[in-house]
Amino acid sequence: MKRLILLLVPLLVCSVFTASNYGQSPIIGKEFTVREANELFGKPTQTVRVDAKFLKKLLDNSGEYFMFTIKNGKAYFANKHKKLFNDDGGFNGDETMWVVSTSVLKHLLSKGANTMGIKNKSTTATSDVLIEQRSGTLTVTYNDATTEMAWVCPPSCPY
């Protein structure tokens, strides 16, 4: 009987945690300071500037996840179904995009110049968000913070 209880208790605990997280979508993306991002992912090799207000409007209309990429020096943005917000015919929907939770990017944009509680005197508040190509990844930088740990779609697409 004691063995049965020892077997059932961990099983019950696991099922409770699984049930409590069932139906919840994962949070994709993580904030780093620009310095941390440079150390972890390398310095940007290409940067595209995007107006922060424009990006915020896109985020407000994107749903739970937001996709982005750079092609031919231009940033492209899409919702979680890869429906482009700025389709000019220069991007094929089958191409690779990076996926991040909309909430992560909104948090990044809400922080302003004093990002992550660290005041960096070399960086001043700006109205531009930087979409940055780094070694093997894309990042989104606003003032003193960078968001990475995005999923690459394909193969990891939220649809």
- The answer to whether 128 and 49 have CB atoms below 8 angstroms apart is yes
**Neighbouring-strand partners of residue 75:** 70
Give the SS3 label for residue 81: coil
- Which CATH code is given to the segment(s) 27-153? 3.10.150
Edge-to-edge strand ranges of the sheet holding 145-148: 30-33, 145-148, 137-142, 128-134, 46-51
Q: Would you state the structure tokens that stand for residue 14, as one six-digit string?
A: 């696991």
* pLDDT at residue number 1: 52
Give the SS3 label for residue 110: helix
45-92 residue pLDDT tens? 999 999 999 999 999 999 999 999 999 999 999 999 999 998 888 888
* Residue extents of the structural domains in the chain: 27-153
Mean pLDDT of the chain: 81
d(CA 68, CA 70) in angstroms, rounded, equals 7
